[in-house]
Amino acid sequence: MTTVTRFAPSPTGLLHIGNVRTALHNWMLAQKRGGRFLLRIDDTDAARSEERYVDAIRETLAWLGLTPDGEERQSARTALYEREFQKLVEGGRVYRAYESAQELELKRKVLLGRGLPPVYDRAALSLAEADHAAKMAAGERPHWRFLLDRDRPIEWVDGIRGPQRFDPAQMSDPVVRRADGSWLYMLPSVIDDIDMGVTQILRGEDHVTNSAVQVQMFEALGAPVPALAHEALLTGAEGKLSKRLGSLGMAELREQGIEPEAVIALLARLGTSDPVDPALSVEQLIETMDLSRFGRAPARFDETELARINAAIIHRLPFERVAHALPEGMDAAGWEAIRPNLSTVAQAGDWWSIVTGPVAAPAVDEQTRAFLDAAARHAAALDWSASPWAALTGALKEETGRKGKELFLPLRLAITGMEHGPDMGALLPLIGKDQVVARLKA
C-alpha cells in the first residue's frame, strides 16, 4: 500500500513553528516510503478563514521545500460531506439534539457536583418524531451528534505513544454539525482522509482524544483506520509552552535571517533520540526518519540553538544557493572567504565592505608606523599571483623578527580596520594589490 500522509492546517492564522514541525514530519514520512504528501486546507470555518492565510501556508511550504503532491480544500467538498453524513443518518450513527450551550453547561456542573464525569446524557435520543416536529414548528433547529459505540473500548497501537485504550462510556457523543448546517472539524476530516486515501495520520498529542472518536467514525463509514501517531508538543527554552512559541511564525524567522535548511535540520530531529546535526542533508534526515525514535516527553525548542544551527548551515552553503542575496560584485571566491564569519547571509554585505572599502586607517604609534611602511614596501614588490598573505608575513617576520599577534594584528587592522574577521589569506587577493598597499600607507 502506498503511504499517503497529509498536513491539514486551518487558514485562520499564520503557521507557527509547531505547525511546521508537523508538516515536515509528514512530508519526511511520505518521502522515505516513496509515498505522497498532501495538503488539505481545512477552511470549513468560513467566518475565520482568510485567503491571505492560504497563500501564506503555500508560501511557507514552498520556502521549506515541502512540495505537496496534491491539494484539497474543505470548502469545495461539502457535497461529499453531505453524502457521507446521510449514510450515518440512515445507519443511526448521528442524531439530532437541541440543548443550548447554557443548558449543556448546567448539566456539566451538576455532574461534576456529584463527582461524575461530565458526559452528555444522550437525552436527545429519547425524543420521538412528534417531539422533533414540535421543536421544528417552534423554530428550534437541531445540531447533530455522532453516536459512540459504548459496548467496546477504542484501541489502537500508536506509532509514538504505543498501545492506546479509551472507554467510550467516559466520552460525550461529539457534535459534528451545527444547527446552521455548518460542519465542525471531526467528521469532515475523517471523510477527507478516506476519500484522499490517507494511510498515516501524524499530528500533535493534543489530538489523541479526537483520534479516539475518529476511530469509530472511520469504522462507521466502513473504512480502515489509518495508522495513527501523536508526537509530543513543543515547549520553549523556559520549560513550558509559551505564547511566543505558539505564535512564532516563519516570516519572523526569515526576517532574522534563518535559512530553511536550519529549520529543517532542527525540527526534523526535535523530539527524537537522534542528535541534531547541521551537516546532514535532507536526504540523510529522511533516511533516518523513524517514529519509534520519537519520545513522549515534550520537545524543547530553543531559538538560540536554531541560530547556532543556522550559522553552521551558512558555513556550508554553496555560492549558487545564496548568490541572489549577496552584495553586488561578490563572487564565489568572496563568498567562500567571508561565509565562515557569518551567522546570517544578510551580514555578507557588512563583511564585503572590507573588500570594497573604504577602510578607516587606525591610529598607530611611530614603531607601528615604521612596521606598516615596511609592509607596504614588501606588498608592492610581491608576486600576487601566488599566496600574497603568506609571502608578506614571511618577509616581515624575517626582516623585523615579529611573530604571532605582534606580526598579524597591525596588518589586519590596517588592511581591514578590524581586529578579527575572515581569513587574511583569502581576503588579500579579493582586495587587490593596489588597495592593500594604499591601506598600509594610509
Q: Please report, for the domain that includes residue 104, its CATH number.
A: 3.90.800.10
The pLDDT score that the predictor gives to residue 33 is 95
The pLDDT score that the predictor gives to residue 416 is 92
The pLDDT score that the predictor gives to residue 171 is 96
| 417 part of a folded domain | yes
Same domain, 345 and 433: no
Same domain, 156 and 88: yes
pLDDT (mean) for 158-179: 97
The pLDDT score that the predictor gives to residue 1 is 82
Same domain, 334 and 414: no
What is the span of the domain harbouring residue 337?
Answer: 319-355
CA dist 251 and 247 (Å) reads 11
Largest CA distance in the chain: 110
Q: End of a domain among 162, 177, 192?
A: 177
Q: Please report, for the domain that includes residue 373, its CATH number.
A: 1.10.10.350
Planar angle of CA 114, 116, 119, nearest 5 degrees: 125
Q: For residue 8, what pLDDT band results from cuts at 50, 70 and 90?
A: very high
Q: For residue 238, what pLDDT band results from cuts at 50, 70 and 90?
A: low
- Quick check: 357 pLDDT over 90? no
Q: For residue 385, what pLDDT band results from cuts at 50, 70 and 90?
A: confident
| 410 part of a folded domain | yes
| 222 part of a folded domain | no
Query: Tens digit of pLDDT for each residue in 60-99?
Result: 999 999 999 999 999 999 999 999 999 999 999 999 999 9
| 361 part of a folded domain | yes
| 421 part of a folded domain | yes
Same domain, 336 and 380: no
The total of structural domains in the chain comes to 3
Same domain, 110 and 84: yes
Q: End of a domain among 121, 145, 177?
A: 177
How many other C-beta atoms lie within 10 A of the C-beta of residue 380? 13
Same domain, 361 and 350: no
Q: End of a domain among 108, 143, 177?
A: 177
Torsion on CA atoms 316, 318, 319, 322, rounded to nearest 10? -80
Same domain, 362 and 323: no
Single-letter code of the amino acid located at 288: T
Same domain, 405 and 376: yes
Same domain, 346 and 414: no
| 264 part of a folded domain | no
59-63 long-range contacts (CB < 8 A, ≥24 apart) are: 60/15, 60/20, 60/250, 61/7, 61/23, 63/250, 63/254, 63/260
Same domain, 129 and 159: yes
